[in-house]
Amino acid sequence: MEPATAALVPRLRALAAAGFSDPWSEGAFLEELRAPDASLTVARAPDGEVVGYLALRCAADEVHVLSLAVDPARRRQGAGRALLLSGLARAAAGGARLAHLEVRPGNAGALAFYERFGFQAVGRRRRYYPDGEDALLLCARVPGGVRAAGDAA
């Protein structure tokens, strides 16, 4: 894991476009790089290719997982897991005790992924996405409630 840089923004935009129907613009990524409360981290494959990113924002004792994307051709190889766990560990070290994120109700893959780390649906944000779809609000306690996938619950 390493911090993202402005030079990587076109690749991050491509990853977002491959994974989301409403991907972030290059400007949105640049804004995250400038924001003092934000963290934008990338994962690289052994060959050096950027295969995923994680965007977080911290406020008080909470961390908001804004976006997590992994190259569709590189999924299920541990990049998403590594990004999420390292990001939440950094947030916990900074005082975060609660993690939250939004996910589309029909995104079964994302729901299953986050549930493996202890996230649970706690609410719904009506008409959250640009296309009018609701979002499920998922939360987990940090660090005790967020566990490595596969660990005993």
pLDDT, tens digit (0-9, with 9 covering 90-100), for 1-17: 999 999 999 999 999 99
Reported in sequence order, the residue ranges of the chain that DSSP labels E, i.e. its strands, are: 2-3, 38-44, 50-59, 62-70, 98-103, 120-125, 135-141
Question: pTM of the entire structure?
Answer: 0.90
Among candidate residues 26, 62, 102, 133, the one labeled active-site is 102
CATH number of the 2-141 domain: 3.40.630.30
Q: Is 53 a catalytic residue?
A: no
Write out pLDDT tens, residues 45-89.
999 999 999 999 998 899 999 999 999 999 989 999 999 999 999
Integer angstrom CA distances of residue 108 from 28, 113, 120, 128, 140: 26, 8, 13, 18, 18
Catalytic option among 26, 31, 62, 114: 114
Q: Is 114 a catalytic residue?
A: yes
Q: How far apart are CA 66 and CA 54, in angstroms?
A: 8
Q: Which two tokens stand for residue 22?
A: 């409403």
Question: What is the spatial distance between Cα 43 and Cα 48, in angstroms, rounded to a whole number?
Answer: 9
Domain map (residue ranges) of the chain: 2-141
Q: Report the alpha-carbon distance of residue 53 to residue 71 in Å, rounded.
A: 9
Contact between 53 and 41 under an 8 Å Cβ cutoff? The reply is: yes
Mean pLDDT, the chain, integer: 92
